[in-house]
């Protein structure tokens, strides 16, 4: 009789060990899934950031080359890049003097503010640079 009880106790203990091992395995799989999800989200943000940087660089080059007429402040919606992407361009004249104290005219600081929607969260990036328009 005691032998039968010991045998059942060992089987029950084995069942508890197996259930504990399965629970530990399940927790490990869930942790792995969370880390993969975080990695994918980070990759998406990296790709979006790269697109935005490329867009701002190309816009800056267009402005520096004089291909885009520049006014004091404009806002435009950009289609085809990222959802709800808007570009605000601001031009402010700089009041600077050269080493002889002569006032420099025609020198501007241009600020490009770009906003877009990423995972229902508003993101933004800004780029500021100086420009001296070519005299034509």
3 state SS of 118: strand
pLDDT of 84: 87
Residues in CB range of 106: below 8 A, 6 or more apart: 132, 133, 135
Banded model confidence at residue 115, pLDDT cuts 50, 70, 90 = very high
Condensed to tens digits (0 to 9), the pLDDT of residues 29-40 reads: 999 999 999 999
Condensed to tens digits (0 to 9), the pLDDT of residues 9-65 reads: 666 678 888 899 999 999 999 999 999 999 999 999 999 999 999 999 999 999 888
First to last CA, the chain: 108
Whether 83 shows a pLDDT value over 80: the answer reads yes
pTM of the model: 0.71
Query: DSSP for 78-100?
Result: E-SSSTTEEEEEEEEE--EE-TT
In this structure, the strands spanning 103-104 and 96-97 are: antiparallel
């Amino acid at each position: 009789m005691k032998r039968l009880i010991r045998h059942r106790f060992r089987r029950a203990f084995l069942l508890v060990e197996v259930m504990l091992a399965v629970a530990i395995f399940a927790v490990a799989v869930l942790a792995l899934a969370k880390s993969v999800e975080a990695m994918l989200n980070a990759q998406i943000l990296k790709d979006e950031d790269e697109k935005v940087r490329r867009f701002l660089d190309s816009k800056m080059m267009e402005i520096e080359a004089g291909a885009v007429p520049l006014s004091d402040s404009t806002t435009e919606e950009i289609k085809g890049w990222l959802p709800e992407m808007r570009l605000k361009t601001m031009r402010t004249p700089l009041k600077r003097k050269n080493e002889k104290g002569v006032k420099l005219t025609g020198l501007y600081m241009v600020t490009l503010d770009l906003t877009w929607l990423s995972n229902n969260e508003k993101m933004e990036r800004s780029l500021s640079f100086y420009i001296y328009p070519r005299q034509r």
